[in-house]
C-alpha cells in the first residue's frame, strides 16, 4: 500500500530502507544517528557505513515534526513587495550575516521569506503558516501595525527598529535619536550653520533620527528650515535621483545629515557632480557605518550602529521568548565615527 517511489526527498531513501539493509529496526537506526548510547558500538558502525554508502539524507521535516520543533528562525525584511532592492543596503546585509551567524551558533537555521506573512499572495488564505520557532523582523518598514498584530498573537517575535512607547512586544534598536543628535551637533560645533536632513520620514527608525536632528538644531538655537528636509529612499540609485536637486539649494546649507550611509554616498556624488566640495563646502555625516565607508573618498563620517551587538541581543531575546521567558526591549548606544566627510579633519589629498 505504501508507495515510497515518489518520495521527493533529495535522497530517495528513508530510515526504513536503512533499517532493512542493516537488518535492524527503524528505532535503532534513529538512535544510531542521533548518537544515543542505547546502541551497540558495532551496530552503530554498521549502520553508519550503510548510511554513507547509500547516500541517505535524513528528512529534517519529519524529524522536526516528531521533535516538535524546527530549529529554524524566520528572518523578515519588511520591504515592499516585488523587489528586494532595499535589502541590498549593506546595513541590512550585515545584519543578516550577523543573525545567521549568531543563530547558527545556537543551532538554528535561517529562513528568509520573501514577503511578510500578512501579504500572503494566496487569496482567501487568511491564516499564517508557522514554519519556524520564532521570527525576527529586521526593521519595521511601513508595517508597524501589522508587526504589532503579529507579535500580539505570537510570543516568539522580536524586531529590530525603533522602540516606540506603545509597543507591547520586544523591539531592539539603536539610539537613533541620540545618534542623530550627536551627528548634527558635531557639524554644528564645527561651525556649520545650516544642516539639511535626508531620509524617509515614514519609516519609524528614520523618523527618530529626524527627531534627534531637530533636537540638536533646537539646542543650538538654529531655526529649522523645512525645505532642507528631503525625502530619500534607501536604495542608492533612488537616493541619487531623490537628492539630485539638492545642489540647487546649495548656499542655503553647508551641512547634511544623511539618515544612512548609502544616502550620504548618493548625496556626495550629486554634490560633486555640481562642483560642490565635500567637506570643504558642505559637511556630510551618514548613519550605519557600512564597511566601505571608511575607504571612500572622502571617507564617511557616520553614526555607527553596533550591528554585532544588535544581532546578539536580538537572538538572545528571541531565544528567551522561545524558552517561555519575557524578552526585554533594548536600546543600543550609537556612536559617532569621525572621518573626512564632515570636515573635522583635513582631507589629505586629491
The residues in 67-106 that bind DNA, with binding defined as CB under 7 A, are 67-68
Asked if residue 41 binds DNA (CB under 7 A), the reply is: yes
| Contact (Cβ atoms closer than 8 angstroms) between residue 217 and residue 278 | no
Asked if residue 202 binds DNA (CB under 7 A), the reply is: no
| SS3 category, 81 | coil
- Integer Cα distance of 88 and 109 in angstroms: 21
Residues in the chain: 350
| SS3 category, 331 | strand
- Integer Cα distance of 302 and 183 in angstroms: 7
Which is nearer to DNA, 54 or 309 (by Cβ)? 54
Torsions phi, psi of 301, nearest 5?
A: -75, 135
Which is nearer to DNA, 58 or 315 (by Cβ)? 58
Which of DNA, a second copy, none has residue 40 at its interface (CB below 5 to 8 Å by kind)? Answer: DNA
- Shortest distance, position 150 Cβ to DNA, whole Å: 18
Which of DNA, a second copy, none has residue 262 at its interface (CB below 5 to 8 Å by kind)? Answer: a second copy
Which is nearer to a second copy, 55 or 191 (by Cβ)? 55
Going by their DSSP bridges, the two strands 301-304 and 195-198 should be labelled as: unpaired
> How many residues form the binding site for DNA (CB under 7 A)?
33
Q: Judged by CB under 7 A, which stretch of 62-70, 170-178, 203-211, 278-286 contacts DNA?
A: 62-70
Choice from 45, 49, 55, 65 touching DNA (CB under 7 A): 65
Choice from 58, 136, 180, 242 touching DNA (CB under 7 A): 58
Site string for DNA, 8-37 (x = CB under 7 A): -x----xxx------xxxxxx-xx-xx--x
Which of DNA, a second copy, none has residue 332 at its interface (CB below 5 to 8 Å by kind)? Answer: none
CA nearest neighbour of 217 among 246, 184, 170, 183:
184
- Integer Cα distance of 322 and 343 in angstroms: 47
Asked if residue 154 binds DNA (CB under 7 A), the reply is: no
Asked if residue 39 binds DNA (CB under 7 A), the reply is: yes
- Integer Cα distance of 115 and 138 in angstroms: 12
Q: Cβ contacts of residue 9 below 8 Å, gap of 6+? A: 57, 59
CA nearest neighbour of 136 among 153, 158, 119, 152:
158
Q: Contact positions toward DNA, by CB under 7 A? A: 1-4, 7, 9, 14-16, 23-28, 30-31, 33-34, 37-41, 43, 58-59, 62-63, 65-68
Amino acid at each position: 500500500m505504501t508507495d515510497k517511489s515518489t518520495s521527493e526527498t533529495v535522497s530517495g531513501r528513508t530510515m526504513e530502507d536503512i533499517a532493512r539493509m542493516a537488518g535492524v529496526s527503524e528505532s535503532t537506526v534513529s538512535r544510531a544517528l542521533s548518537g544515543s548510547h542505547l546502541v551497540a558500538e558495532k551496530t552503530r558502525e554498521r549502520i553508519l557505513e550503510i548510511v554513507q554508502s547509500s547516500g541517505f539524507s535524513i528528512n529534517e521535516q519529519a524529524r522536526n515534526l516528531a521533535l516538535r520543533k524546527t530549529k529554524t528562525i524566520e528572518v523578515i525584511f519588511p520591504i515592499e513587495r516585488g523587489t528586494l532592492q532595499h535589502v541590498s543596503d549593506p546595513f541590512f546585509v550585515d545584519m543578516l550575516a550577523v543573525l545567521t551567524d549568531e543563530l547558527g551558533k545556537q543551532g538554528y537555521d535561517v529562513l528568509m521569506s520573501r514577503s511578510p506573512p500578512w501579504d500572503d499572495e494566496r487569496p482567501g488564505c487568511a491564516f499564517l503558516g508557522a514554519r519556524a520557532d520564532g521570527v525576527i523582523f529586521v526593521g519595521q518598514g511601513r508595517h508597524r501595525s501589522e508587526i504589532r498584530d503579529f507579535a500580539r498573537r505570537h510570543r516568539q517575535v522580536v524586531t529590530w527598529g525603533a522602540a516606540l512607547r506603545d509597543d507591547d512586544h520586544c523591539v531592539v534598536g539603536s539610539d537613533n535619536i541620540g545618534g542623530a543628535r550627536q551627528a548634527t551637533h558635531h557639524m554644528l560645533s564645527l561651525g556649520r550653520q545650516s544642516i539639511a536632513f535626508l531620509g524617509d520620514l515614514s519609516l519609524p527608525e528614520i523618523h527618530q533620527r529626524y527627531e534627534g536632528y531637530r533636537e540638536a538644531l533646537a539646542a543650538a538655537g538654529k531655526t529649522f528650515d523645512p525645505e532642507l528636509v528631503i525625502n530619500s529612499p534607501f536604495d542608492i540609485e533612488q537616493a541619487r535621483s531623490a537628492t539630485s536637486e539638492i545642489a540647487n539649494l546649495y548656499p542655503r546649507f553647508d551641512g547634511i545629515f544623511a539618515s544612512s550611509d548609502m544616502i550620504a554616498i548618493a548625496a556626495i556624488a550629486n554634490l560633486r557632480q555640481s562642483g560642490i566640495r565635500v567637506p570643504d563646502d558642505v559637511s556630510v555625516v551618514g548613519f550605519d557605518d557600512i564597511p566601505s565607508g571608511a575607504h571612500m573618498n572622502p571617507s564617511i563620517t557616520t553614526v555607527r550602529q553596533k550591528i554585532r551587538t544588535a544581532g546578539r541581543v536580538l537572538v538572545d531575546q528571541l531565544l528567551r521568548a522561545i524558552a517561555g521567558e519575557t524578552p526585554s526591549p533594548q536600546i543600543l548606544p550609537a556612536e559617532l565615527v569621525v572621518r573626512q566627510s564632515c570636515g573635522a579633519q583635513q582631507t589629505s589629498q586629491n
